[in-house]
Amino acid sequence: MGLFSSRKTHVVDTDILVIGGGFGGCGAAYESRYWGRKLKVTLVEKANIERSGAVAHGLSAINCYMGMRWDENQPEDFVRYARGDLMGLVREDLIYDIARHVDGTVHLFEEWGLPIMKNPETGRYLREGKWQVMIHGESYKPIIAEAAQKSASEVHNRIMVTHLLMDATHPNRVAGAVGFNVRDGCFYVFRAKAVIVAAGGASHIFKPRSVGEGMGRTWYAPWSSASAYGLVLRAGAQMIQMENRIVLARFKDGYGPVGAWFLLLKALATNAYGERFEASMLDDMKSLVGKYAETTPLPTCLRNHAVLQELKAGRGPIYMQTQNAIDTREKEEIGWEDFLDMTVGQAVVWASQNIDPKEKPSELITSEPYVMGSHATCSGAWASGPADCAPADYQWGHNRMTTVEGLFGAGDTIGGSAHKFSSGSFTEGRIAGKAAVRYVMALVGNAPQVDDTQIRMLQEEIFKPLANHAIGKHEIVAGSVAPSYISPLHGLQRLEKIMDEYVGGISTQYMTSEPMLKRGLELLTMLREDLDHIGAEGLHQLQRTWELKHRVWTSEAVLRHTLYRQETRWPGYYYRGDFPKLDDAEWHAFTASRYDTKTGEWQMSKLPVHHIIS
Amino acid sequence: MPTFTYMTRCDGCGQCVDICPSDIMHIDPVYRRSYNVEPNFCWECYSCVKACPQHAIDVRGYADFAPLGHSVRVLREEANGTISWKIRYRDGREKLFTFPIRTTPWGSIKPPTDYAAPDAAALDSPLLAHEPAALMVAALPSLPPRPEQG
């Protein structure tokens, strides 16, 4: 196809559009179909739904399961746990809502064929920790995808969604989305009555520790390109807690999971001299965060903080003492399966460096930061809560609807609701799916209208990077250096460097401050302008270009929220050098932002944190 | 790791291109076989390795931290519901593991439309599909009514 020939446009009309076929999107498709038997449910995915999203690789545990049937935990207990881990700032209504439904989701997964390990003595699911159950999860994603494929009216694979469409007749109402097919370059217009954004959070906005080929082995998937935020914030949705990035203490370089080693196999982390170090730092932690240092279990960020202090003192490397934990073949298999199910790369690290975990310990390190809404962190869109338990000011529409009418979210998209993981993200997708059905059914005769001019402008914008390259390459003989365009990888590496050096990445030991953030914003603003000059050599690079744009838009939100919150709430995730302590008097609140699509301005504000569980 | 494709094994079928979550397995226009076009965006997820009918795709650990001489090979057998791994260390040691992947036949999941349609009134309740039965407790938990928050 010639670059300037007219591209084919496909228009897809649907009642409900689900963007992203990971766990949130699969849950949304299943539940939308269950309640909306006659509605058209369309799922769109930039890869192949069978192996897409954060769980493409597989997983070795389900990290959110109450076990209410055995009276193991109640939803209230889970809210207290997530609140403690996030230093007090969570949407308790949203977390409670996921916790009360999540067991039903996990039981459904087991019925579908997901092998869940059993405790031979009790017959119950084998617990890894209080909230986690062990699974044989290599095929977790294909199993869940099978259910979603049988639920959606249509699944469109390999469509990169770039923008949401807004209603021409009604301000602040969503009307669908646009994107392109990464295989044939066709332009896609989805006109929808309701849209559920279930796209991924953000890897690769901060410079990763690995620098060459290994930059792909980030902890979160490299295809988690911040579309969860890039899409909704550009539609004018209010965002919260975007500063609440997460840093993970994991096996060095491979980023293999540590949960099973700590919780099930009871391996210990020590410094280079075999000493445990967390307990001795409690006084230091108290001086920074006060009563929050007394939370049990110790919050994730504070555990990172302890590792960082130990490394700064020169007592590293930090080691997981695996050799004391796997004394039987059964335990050895659990340890290896933990990696082979979800992080094969860690097994490769061990094989290549001659590390047998039965014989010697393995290094742990804190990762580069990530921005997401489903792990021990809760960035994302401000969403309306469940009618029967959300405080009045947390409700303005259907459950999981953002501040844009008809725009719902699930998984990484929804903010304030940490510790969803796979089962909770699927559950949140189900909640959003049902709510979207209710919304669509109430819309009778009032469907959104799509303005053709809006679509044509977006089409031009979407394909422009191809033209930038096709024209610009004639200025040079050969190679990758051109005066009028940069490649998407060039842009990504500039983004990662800015975020790393000014917004609290690894090279400053996660430290930032107002002057650093303001300088970072100047550079980020120039990068945002340069996004108009990305040159894409083909459709694969066009996908990378749009992933980069979503990452840059998201990064600006991360930076502005970090600047707005004048305290250090989560030492170990990041530090504000100019406000080194937690400040509950001023900042026991959510940070909120709204990007004005017309003026390009950001409005920052605080939103209240209500504690509805004692 | 990135992944790479053995020239003599690949027959250019494109299964790896179809499954790769990162869109980095492409068909080389000259050799008509697949290759990894962007190794630094490879997560080593092994989706392509598992999907290759010719076992033509392998992985060589990331050059910036993995010394040479290792291999992690996999055989995923859907019909048996198992996955088997063979790990060879740089120093020649080997480890073998086999794990289950699924307990039901592929394609056997009951779609939501196979269940009786729910009552229209249930659409306004907080219950999700198959609840409360699927929760295996008597009722969906709820919070007690609260006074207006302060």
SS3 per residue for B22-85: CCCEEECCCCCCEEECCHHHCCCCCHHHHHCCCCCEEECCCCCCCCCCCEEEEEEECCCCEEEE
Question: Radius of gyration of chain A from Cα atoms?
Answer: 23
Angle at A158 between CA A157 and CA A163, to 5 degrees: 105
The yes-or-no verdict on residue A78 having pLDDT over 50 is: yes
At residue B12, does pLDDT exceed 80?
yes
Is A375 designated active site? Answer: yes
Say whether residue B69 is in contact with chain A using an 8 A CB cutoff: yes
Does B150 map to a domain?
no
Residue B145 has pLDDT above 80, yes or no: no
Tell me, yes or no, whether B51 lies in a domain: yes
Inter-CA distances, A400 with A102, A197, A417, A447, B6, Å: 16, 10, 11, 20, 48
Give the one of B46, B99, B141 whose C-beta lies nearest to A74's C-beta: B141
Would you call A213 and B2 a contact, using CB atoms and an 8 Å cutoff?
yes
Q: Which residues, including other chains, have CB under 8 Å from residue B149's CB and lie 6 or more apart?
A: A391, A392, A393, A610, A612
Match 């295809």 to its residue by tokens.
Answer: A223
Residue range A554-567, pLDDT digits in tens: 999 999 999 999 99
Q: Is the CB of residue B4 less than 8 Å away from at least one CB of chain A?
A: no
Residue B149 lies in a domain: no
Classify residue B105: in a domain, yes or no: no
Q: Does any domain span residue B62?
A: yes
Q: Quick one: pLDDT at residue B147?
A: 52
Domain ranges in chain A with CATH number 3.90.700.10: 249-366
Give the whole-number percent of chain A exceeding pLDDT 90. Answer: 95
Which residue type, as a one-letter code, is found at position A412? D
Would residue B89 count as lying in a domain?
A: yes
| C-beta atoms of A543 and B23 within 8 A | yes
Least confident span in A257-261, A524-528, A529-533, A579-583: A257-261
Chain B positions in Cβ-Cβ contact with residue A149 (cut-off 8 Å): none
Mutate to test the interface with A, among B59, B77, B98, B103 (most CBs of A within 10 A): B103
Q: Mind listing the pLDDT tens digit for each residue in B16-73?
A: 999 999 999 999 999 999 999 999 999 999 999 999 999 999 999 999 999 999 999 9
Asked whether residue B144 carries a pLDDT value surpassing 90, the answer given is: no
pLDDT (0 to 100) of residue A184: 95
CATH T-level topology, domain A452-608 = Methane Monooxygenase Hydroxylase; Chain G, domain 1 (1.20.58)
Spot the catalytic one: A63, A227, A244, A513.
A63
CATH number at residue B39: 3.30.70.20
Q: What is the pLDDT of residue B150?
A: 40
Nearest CA in chain A to B131: A104
Nearest residue in A to B138, CA atom: A69
Give the model's confidence band at A3: pLDDT under 50 very low, under 70 low, under 90 confident, else very high. Answer: low
The tally of domains found in chain B comes to 1
Reply yes or no on whether B43 is catalytic: yes
State whether B149 and A349 contact (CB < 8 Å). no
Euclidean distance between CA atoms A4 and A460, whole angstroms: 11
User: Which chain A residues are within 8 Å of B105, Cβ to Cβ?
Assistant: 113
A173 in catalytic set: no
Question: Stretch A112-137: mean pLDDT, rounded?
Answer: 97
Task: Identify the pLDDT of residue A132.
Answer: 97
Average pLDDT, chain B: 94
* CATH class of the domain comprising A249-366: alpha beta
Q: Name chain A contacts of B28, Cβ cutoff 8 Å.
A: none
Which of A321-330, A426-435, A605-614 is predicted with the least confidence, judged by mean pLDDT?
A321-330
Q: Is the dihedral of CA B19, B21, B22, B23 positive or negative?
A: positive
User: What is the average pLDDT score of chain A?
Assistant: 96
Does a structural domain hold residue B90? yes
Q: Enter the CATH code of domain A9-53+138-245+371-441.
A: 3.50.50.60
Put simply, the answer to whether A431 touches B128 (Cβ < 8 Å) is: yes
Q: Are A401 and A195 in contact (CB under 8 A)?
A: no
ipTM over 0.90: yes
Q: Record the pTM.
A: 0.97
Q: Which residue of B has its CA nearest to A117?
A: B100
Determine whether A69 is an active site residue: no
Q: Establish if B106 belongs to a structural domain.
A: no
Q: Do A352 and B68 touch (CB under 8 A)?
A: yes
What average pLDDT does this structure show over A140-152?
98
The CA-based angle A85-A88-A92, given to 5 degrees, is: 95
pLDDT score, position A449: 93
| pLDDT above 90: residue A406 | yes
Domain range enclosing B19: 3-100
Please state the φ and ψ torsions of residue B124, each to the nearest 5 degrees: -90, -5
The rounded distance, in Å, linking the Cα atoms of A56 and A139 is: 9
Q: Is the pLDDT of residue A5 over 90?
A: no
pLDDT of residue A260: 87
Q: Where in chain A is the domain with CATH 3.50.50.60?
A: 9-53+138-245+371-441
Across the interface, whether the CB atoms of B103 and A437 are under 8 A apart is answered no
Task: Check B102 against A75: CB less than 8 A apart.
Answer: no
pLDDT, residue A324, reads 86
